[in-house]
Amino acid sequence: MALLANRRSVMTLFSAPACSFSHRARMVLAEKGITVDIVQIDPVSKPEDLIDLNPYNSVPTLVDRDLVLYDSRLIMEYLDERFPHPPLMPVDPVSRARSRLALYRIERDWYSLVE
């Protein structure tokens, strides 16, 4: 629990190098130039902090002050809303919906091939 107590004031991403969902979150952080502490975890030996933070004990898990998110899509949307520039999604609702549909299709059709 030591890491948890020390990280509350710094945005932290629990990530795994080979996890495609973690990679999505890291790409958004890099694209937006967000300063974050990335904790690379071993999927076989997960830290106690991750178990305490995330009921699914999975990565990616983002901790931003008192907020804990543990789904890559939720993490990406949160980061885009909290740090609006540069925007990741189009402004108009129709284009936004099309972008979300494209992301959904990538998740359904392509992610199963790499996982």
Whole-angstrom distance, CA of residue 39 vs CA of residue 7: 11
Among 11, 13, 16, 19, the one annotated catalytic: 19
Largest CA distance in the chain: 45
19 is catalytic: yes
Backbone φ and ψ of 14, nearest 5° = -85, 125
Q: Indicate if the alpha-carbon torsion angle 100, 104, 110, 113 is positive or negative.
A: positive
Residues taking part in catalysis:
19
